[in-house]
Copies of this chain bind each other. A is one copy, B any other.
Amino acid sequence: MSRPTISTITMADVARAAGVSQPTVSRALNGDARVATSTRLAILDTAERLGYVINRAARTLAGSSTNSIGFVIAEHEAHVWGNPYIPRIIAGISKELSAQDKQLVLFVAQNRHDQDRLIKDVSRRRTVDGFLMITDNRSDRFLRFLLEQQVPVVVGGRPLGFKQVSYVDVDNIGGAVAATAHLLDVGCTQVGMITGPRTTGPGVDRLAGYRRALRARGLKDNGAVYRAKDWGIDEGYAGMHRLLHEHPKLDGVFAAGELLALGALSALRTAGKVVPDDVRFVGFDDSAAASRSDPPLSCVAQPVEELGQQMAALLLRRLAGEEKTGHLMLPVQLNPRASSVGKDR
């Protein structure tokens, strides 16, 4: 049993079977309005019956679009590779793209050299119609290049230091306000925060939300803020450790990242603190992980998969000329949980 021959049904085959010309098949399949409804239906039927699948290479060669978009992972080493959201973001992107019959091509540019190669390639030959990317704003040369060249691009997470860039982000400020307000609501008087890098939009915005919530209650900033250098578990641990030493009376903590929260929690337990008896805690999480039982903590749930999907949708709209530069903010949800951690309840 040798490999079955891949049926190479072409538009010409469909045309022959349907009794029309090959260009008419092309028009019908591409939704050209000039094709008579009866013809279209006959063609669609024949194509389906014959199991026709378009040859992307031919389409790309003849047409003006590549029908594929690129996803660039350009974050600095320590960030992205510890970014637990990448798979989910990809799932969201993929969902949207496959619905529109676009291919998703992956590019990894961890260092300057990779970026240069990408820049060179893109500048000379358009391999994809546009880019989606996750960046930590450190190694942003590729993004800058894309914007200069006016190559369509949509970024995940508000990028700092760029004007006129399309991006999709979750409501970081709103989420941080809700988290902080929640801690105050349940009676905390000394609320601290571990925020993400000041070089990132989410890091800055979540801190802003925390401060806004304090201000709204007429509380003054007690300085119990740790600005993590990255989003990793280590920084969460280090941050919590430091906060506990500098602010022994802390009775509430908001850790603005999933791994930061894990690390912070670890430090709390190491210090013998019981959550929420000694210290109330709110973290960040993927909304898809909302059912997670450990840590059974209050968290701000972000729609990560939808973030990816919306990024793709926004890019496709731009490519279709329906939209110029634009932003999109996805709502988050505060997910309060009343479990105890640090000892058995």
**Which A233-286 residues have a C-beta within 8 angstroms of B?**
233-234, 237-238, 262-263, 265-267, 269-272
Q: Which residues of A contact B (CB under 8 A)?
A: 2-4, 6-9, 51-58, 60-61, 66, 68, 71, 73, 80-84, 86-88, 90-91, 94-95, 98, 103-108, 110, 114, 117, 121, 123-127, 149-151, 232-234, 237-238, 262-263, 265-267, 269-272, 288-289, 292-295, 341-344
If A57-B66, A90-B108, A91-B110 touch, does A294 touch B233 (CB 8 Å cutoff)?
yes
Residues of the B chain whose Cβ atoms lie less than 8 Å from the Cβ of A292: 232-234
In the complex, which of the residues B104, B125, B150, B263 contacts A55, with contact meaning CB atoms closer than 8 Å? Answer: B125
Residues of the B chain whose Cβ atoms lie less than 8 Å from the Cβ of A51: 124
Nearest B residue to A67 via CB reads B57
In the complex, which of the residues B60, B81, B121 contacts A87, with contact meaning CB atoms closer than 8 Å? Answer: B81
If A55-B61, A66-B57, A125-B55 touch, does A106 touch B84 (CB 8 Å cutoff)?
no
Candidate in A83, A98, A238 with the most chain B CB atoms within 10 angstroms: A98
In the complex, which of the residues B88, B151, B270 contacts A344, with contact meaning CB atoms closer than 8 Å? Answer: B270
Residues of the B chain whose Cβ atoms lie less than 8 Å from the Cβ of A82: 84, 289
A124 and B270 within 8 A (CB): no
Cα A2 to Cα B151 in complex, Å, equals 11
Nearest B residue to A3 via CB reads B150
9 shortest A-B CB distances, which residue pairs? A57-B60, A94-B108, A53-B125, A237-B294, A57-B61, A3-B150, A53-B124, A104-B106, A269-B269
Cα A51 to Cα B120 in complex, Å, equals 9
In the complex, which of the residues B7, B57, B87, B272 contacts A86, with contact meaning CB atoms closer than 8 Å? Answer: B87
Known: A51-B124, A57-B60, A90-B106. 8 other contacts (CB 8 A): A6-B124, A6-B125, A56-B57, A71-B106, A81-B88, A94-B106, A95-B108, A269-B269
Does more than half of chain A's interface fall in helix, strand or loop, or is it mixed? mixed
Counted per complex, copies of this chain come to 2
A293 and B237 within 8 A (CB): yes
Nearest B residue to A7 via CB reads B124
Nearest B residue to A106 via CB reads B104
A270 and B341 within 8 A (CB): yes
B87 and A91 within 8 A (CB): no
A53 and B121 within 8 A (CB): yes
Chain B min CB distance to A138 (Å): 17
Nearest B residue to A121 via CB reads B53
If A80-B87, A105-B105 touch, does A293 touch B234 (CB 8 Å cutoff)?
yes
Chain B min CB distance to A9 (Å): 7
Cα A106 to Cα B93 in complex, Å, equals 10
Cα A294 to Cα B263 in complex, Å, equals 7
Cα A53 to Cα B118 in complex, Å, equals 12
B288 and A81 within 8 A (CB): yes
If A81-B288, A105-B105, A105-B106 touch, does A123 touch B6 (CB 8 Å cutoff)?
yes
Chain B min CB distance to A235 (Å): 10
Chain B min CB distance to A198 (Å): 22
Residues of the B chain whose Cβ atoms lie less than 8 Å from the Cβ of A91: 73, 81, 108, 110
20 contacts between A and B (CB under 8 A): A2-B150, A6-B124, A6-B126, A53-B125, A71-B106, A82-B289, A91-B108, A91-B110, A94-B108, A95-B108, A103-B105, A105-B106, A232-B292, A233-B292, A234-B292, A237-B293, A266-B294, A269-B270, A270-B341, A270-B343
